A and B are shown apart, each in its own frame.
Chain A
C-alpha cells in the first residue's frame, strides 16, 4: 500500500509537470521578477548593474502627466465602450432571436469581426476613416468630413477607436446575450401574456431581471477588454496626434497599455513601465470588483 501511495504521488507530479513548468516559467517567475524590477533602475538599454531605488518608479509614475492622461482617456474609452458595445450587442441579440429569416447568417456575420486580429482590424479601419469616410461625406455633401480627418484629431480619433472596438466586439457579446435570452423560461413569458402584460412590461419585468447574470459577464468582459486594449490602438491611431495637456505636449490617443509599452520600447525606462503596469493591474482589479459587486447585487434568484 505504501509503495502504491508513493507511486501515486510521483504520477501526480509527472502529469502536472508540463503545464506547471510552463506556467512557472512564463507567469509566476516573471510576475515576481516584475514586482522586484519595479523597485529598481532597470532600463531597456545595456547597463552594468540593476540597483534598487525604492519607490522612485511609483512616485515617477504618479507624477508622469502622460500616464495620468492615458488613465483618463482609457477610462473614458472604457466607459463609452461598455455603453456602446452592450447597447448594440443587446439590440443585435434581440434581432437575431426574433422571428426573422436567416438568423444564423446574421449571427455569423455579426460575429465575424471578432475572429480577426486587432492589428489587422486597425489597418482596415485606417483605410475606412482616411479614404472611405471623406468620400462618403463628400457625396452626401457633409463638408465637415471632407475638411477634418477623423484620426488626426485626438478627440475624434478616440471616438474612432470606440467605433472599431464596438464593431469588433459587439457580435461576441451578442452571442452571450443570445444564450441568456434562450434561457428565459417560455412558460414565465406565456403566464405574463395570459395575465395581460404588454410586450414592454414583459421585457422590463421578466427578460431584463432574468438577464442580470448575463449582464455581469458582458459588462465584466467589455470592461476588462477595453481597459487592456492595445492592438487596435497601436495600428489604428498609434500614439496619435500630439495635444497639450497640463502645459505639456503629449500623445493624444495613447491608451494605458500602449503608454506602458512605449515607456519601455520608446523611452527605454523599463522599470518605470513595470511600475505603471502594476498600478494598471491594481486599478483594473478595483474597477472590475466594483463592477461585479454592483451587477451581482441586482441578480435575481429564480
Chain B
C-alpha cells in the first residue's frame, strides 16, 4: 500500500502571502486553511489568552461582513468552518462544496484586510464572556481539567513563552482592551505572516486569480517583531512534582517530559515510541498496567510538537480504586525507562508501523486534513513537501533510534509528575469564580 502523493504548487504573492494549492477531484469539496504565525507564545505578561480571544474576534465581522455573518454565509453555502489557537500558531479553516470556494477566499480576505472596521466594545465584551465560559467548560469545571496548563508551567520557566496556557487567565482576559485587539491585528494579521492552503476540487489557475484579486491588495507588515530566544536546555534538570486535590473520584498521574522540537527526526522516533507504549490494546502500558497487573483504569502517552525550545511528551494513568498510586507511577516509569534500555522487538515495531501507515492514509483522505498539513508544515518548518515524506520518515524509524530518544527523554531529571488526588472535603470555590460579567 502506498500513500497517494499530494501534488501542490507553492508560491508567494508580492505582499508576502504564501499560497499553496493542491488539486484533486475525488469529491466535489474543497478546503481552505489559513495559518497565521502567531500563537500564545507571542503574548506578553499580563496579556495571556489574548491570541485565542482574538481568534474569537475574527468571527465578529469585518467591513463587508456583519457580526455572525461569517458563520451564516459559510453554512448557507453548505460549508463547515472553525478556528483554533495553539502555542505556535492560529488557524482558520472552511471546507466548502467546490463551487463555493470564492466565498471562503473573500471572507478570509475581508477580515484580513478590514477586521478593525467592525471591531467595537460590545463585540469584544461579548466574546470575552464567551471565552471565559470556554475556560470554565474546558478547564475550571472539569475534573482533572487543569492538567495540561500545569504541565506547561512545570516544563517551561516563568519567563518562557510556553509557560502560560493558551486559554489565559481570567484577570488577563478582563484586562484586554480594544487598543490591544487593534495593535495585535495590525502586528500579526498581515499577509506576510500567513500561509493560505487550498486543497481538493479546485482549478489552480482560477484559485490563484481569486487569491491575487482578494488578497493581493492587502498591505504587508514589514515590522513583525521577532520572538526572543526560546531555547531551553533539552533536559529539565530536576524532577518536578505536584499533588493536586480536586473533585475527582480516582487518583490520576500525569507525566510530562521535555522532548525534541517539531521537525526533529528524533521527535518522529518518539512518536513511534508513543504508539508502542500506549497505542491501543496491544501496547506495552495498556498490556501491563490495565490488562495484566490491573492497577490502572486507563493509560495514554503522546507527543505535542512545538517549534520553539522543546516539545512535550505527556502521558497519564488513572489509578484503580484500592491501588497505591505509587505502584502505578513506578510501573509506568519502568515501562518508559525500559524503552531506553533495550530495543523494541521486531514484531512491536512492525505492528506500530502498520498502524501508523493506516492512520496517515486515513487522515490524508480528507481535503481539510491535507490543507491543514500543508499550511502547518509551511508555517512551522517552511517545508510543505513534508506532507509527502512524513509517512516514510515514520516508517524508517529504527529500534536504535527509538531506544536513543527514549534514553534522552525518559529520565527522572527530565520528568514532571502531576498527581490528582480526591479532595478530602467539598472543594473550595475555584479561585477563578467571580460575579457575573
User: Do A and B belong to a common assembly?
Assistant: no
Residues of A participating in the B interface, judged by any CB pair closer than 8 Å: none
